[in-house]
Amino acid sequence: GAGVSQSPSNKVTEKGKDVELRCDPISGHTALYWYRQRLGQGLEFLIYFQGNSAPDKSGLPSDRFSAERTGESVSTLTIQRTQQEDSAVYLCASSPDSFNEKLFFGSGTQLSVL
Amino acid sequence: AQTVTQSQPEMSVQEAETVTLSCTYDTSESDYYLFWYKQPPSRQMILVIRQEAYKQQNATENRFSVNFQKAAKSFSLKISDSQLGDAAMYFCAYRSARTGGFKTIFGAGTRLFVKA
């Protein structure tokens, strides 16, 4: 696609439910990043994928968070047993490769946990 | 570990005036990239300007320019002739230039208001 696409745009869920967020990167971009942005705060790194290499999961806050990416295509971020503190905007970004320092962002998913 | 600090939570500027947003960072590395990203209400982060640490010349993109002071680890953004469309959150960011240094680190952001 022309840009990074994320879905859903907004998600409201009840505490304890699982949610799945989707990111479709720019075609041909091998690097993909997930960030979390809490209200009024900066971006917090979650996870990074580069091609078929093992992902860097060092930013995932707990084992309730996981992410997958098949090859150089779509990625899904899954949050199990959601908590109220998970409420945030989840932003996805892609880059032509890990050596390219410019990030191209999607519009994010606003997650609200009630 | 590298950190990025933006000490101004909010700034305000009159339309057509000039405003400067501050950013400081901490790193032990000598080669890296610095960025300013804009986040409008649509939430989509847009790259405004980029600076390579080994270049002494300050980057410029139309009305946007930076004052890069490597020794002071300071990287401020100047917006000239401010427009209503400049109103947004602005994030300063750092990324290492070393192999494997893929993680971009962001500051907490500065919200810019532009008054008509």
- Between CA B107 and CA B89 the distance in angstroms is 11
Looking at residue A53, its pLDDT comes to 84
Looking at residue A71, its pLDDT comes to 78
- 10 Å CB burial of residue B22 (0-12, 13-18, 19+) is middle
Q: A61-101, pLDDT tens digit by residue? A: 999 999 999 877 899 999 999 999 999 999 999 998 767 77
Of A101, A107, A110, the CB nearest to B44: A107
Looking at residue A50, its pLDDT comes to 87
Looking at residue A41, its pLDDT comes to 85
- HSE value, Cβ hemisphere, 13 Å, CA-based, for A22: 7
Per-residue buried b or exposed e for A97-108, using 16+ beta carbons within 10 Å of the residue's own CB: ebeebebbbbbb
Question: Which residues, other chains included, contact A47 with Cβ-Cβ below 8 Å and sequence gap of 6+?
Answer: A33, A34, A55, A56, A57, A59, A60, A67, A77
Query: Which one is predicted more confidently, B100 or A30?
Result: A30
Give B108's contacts in chain A (Cβ within 8 Å): 40-42
B71: its two tokens: 């020794």
Mean pLDDT of B29-52: 93
Question: Which residues, other chains included, contact B8 with Cβ-Cβ below 8 Å and sequence gap of 6+?
Answer: B21, B22, B110
Q: Does B16 touch chain A (CB under 8 A)?
A: no
Nearest CA in chain A to B111: A40
Q: Give the N- to C-terminal CA distance of chain A in Å, as an integer.
A: 33
Phi, psi of B109 (to 5 degrees): 100, 155
Looking at residue A102, its pLDDT comes to 85
Give B105's contacts in chain A (Cβ within 8 Å): 45
Query: Which one is predicted more confidently, B102 or A108?
Result: A108
- Between CA A58 and CA B99 the distance in angstroms is 17
Cis link prior to A8 (omega < 30° from 0)? yes
With bands split at pLDDT 50, 70 and 90, how would you rate the model's confidence at B80?
A: very high
Give A98's contacts in chain B (Cβ within 8 Å): 100, 102
- Between CA B22 and CA A77 the distance in angstroms is 33
- Between CA B94 and CA B4 the distance in angstroms is 7
